[in-house]
Amino acid sequence: MASHAAALIIGNEVLTAKVRDLNGALLIERLRARGIPLVSVMMVPDAVDAIVEALVYSRRRAQLIFTSGGIGPTHDDVTVRAVALALQRPVVHLPELVKSLRAAFGETPVPAEAMRLAEAPMGSRLISGPRLKYPALACDDIYLLPGVPELFEAQLDTVLEGLHGQPAVTRVVFLDAHEHELAPVLDAAALAEPEVEIGSYPTFDPAAGYRVKVTVEHVDRSRVDAMIERLLRELPKAAVLRVE
């Protein structure tokens, strides 16, 4: 059973439509491909209390947490502090990061504001990779990724190389029926096999060529196939348009 994941997209800019979030959608795709189930995505402002509570919510449901944003050196970058608070750990300077900053500044002393870039919750580690200009920061199972989409993507991909899941198999039945006509069969099937995930998605777009799409999903293909057979036996025959 793969660990579950949850995501926090942190930043006022996303909630105020100044920036359209791309990282949430990317993370959803990447985790799906990797077979790591995602239990929630929360977009929250640059506010320590909101982030701490979102972490509490997420950590009750997921082992792996991915955050996006809020790890720069300005007043609105509070993710490190919030993660430290949620884990009840102090914020420290990571020696490797201090060393990189000193190297970057050469003879000039590193300004206090730049030194904030070396801050991390105590016990954090860095994850490097050939694609990365800046290493990714992780504290236990919390990955603190940057909000800038190019950096987020590169760091996420590097982090995911070290995490393993079980990709799910999905099959789909397209139907010409009202959802309520399918509900008795779907109810009974979902109750009989709660681990096989059954979804029912209506469309009201006549161009779609169907009225309801039923999805069946599980990591074990044979259980998906068995459920598809059951549904095809029990659903109104005339309503079934096609199976994929």
Is 135 one of the binding residues for a copy of itself (CB under 8 A)? no
Provide the token pair at 72: 């720069």
User: Site for a copy of itself (CB under 8 A): which residue of 23, 48, 52, 74?
Assistant: 74
- Footprint (CB under 8 A) of a copy of itself, residues 155-214: 168, 170, 178-184, 186-187, 190-191, 197-205
The 8 Å CB, 24+ separation contacts for 19-23 are 21/68, 22/149, 23/68, 23/69, 23/145, 23/147, 23/149, 23/152, 23/153
- If the CB atoms of residues 140 and 193 are measured against a copy of itself, the closer one turns out to be 193
| 63 scored as a contact of a copy of itself (CB under 8 A) | no
Judged by CB under 8 A, the residue of 59, 72, 92, 230 near a copy of itself is: 72
Nearer to a copy of itself, 43 or 241 (CB): 43
Please give the Cα distance from 146 to 138 (Å, whole number): 12
DSSP, collapsed to helix, strand or coil, labels residue 61 as: helix
| Nearest Cα to Cα of residue 199 among 242, 170, 164 | 170
Shortest approach of a copy of itself to residue 112 CB, angstroms?
8
- Choose among 62, 35, 29, 4: nearest CA to 168: 35
- Are β-strands 142-145 and 64-68 bridged in parallel, bridged antiparallel, or unpaired? parallel
Select from 2, 23, 44, 142 the one that contacts a copy of itself (CB under 8 A).
Answer: 44
What minimum distance in Å lies between the beta carbon of 134 and a copy of itself? 10
Is 20 a binding residue for a copy of itself by CB under 8 A? The answer is yes
Query: Which tokens sit at 25?
Result: 């959608």
Q: How far apart are CA 132 and CA 152, in angstroms?
A: 10
Contact residues toward a copy of itself (CB under 8 A) are 12-21, 24-25, 28-29, 32, 37-46, 50, 53-54, 57, 60-61, 72-76, 111, 113-114, 116-117, 148, 150-151, 168, 170, 178-184, 186-187, 190-191, 197-205, 215, 217
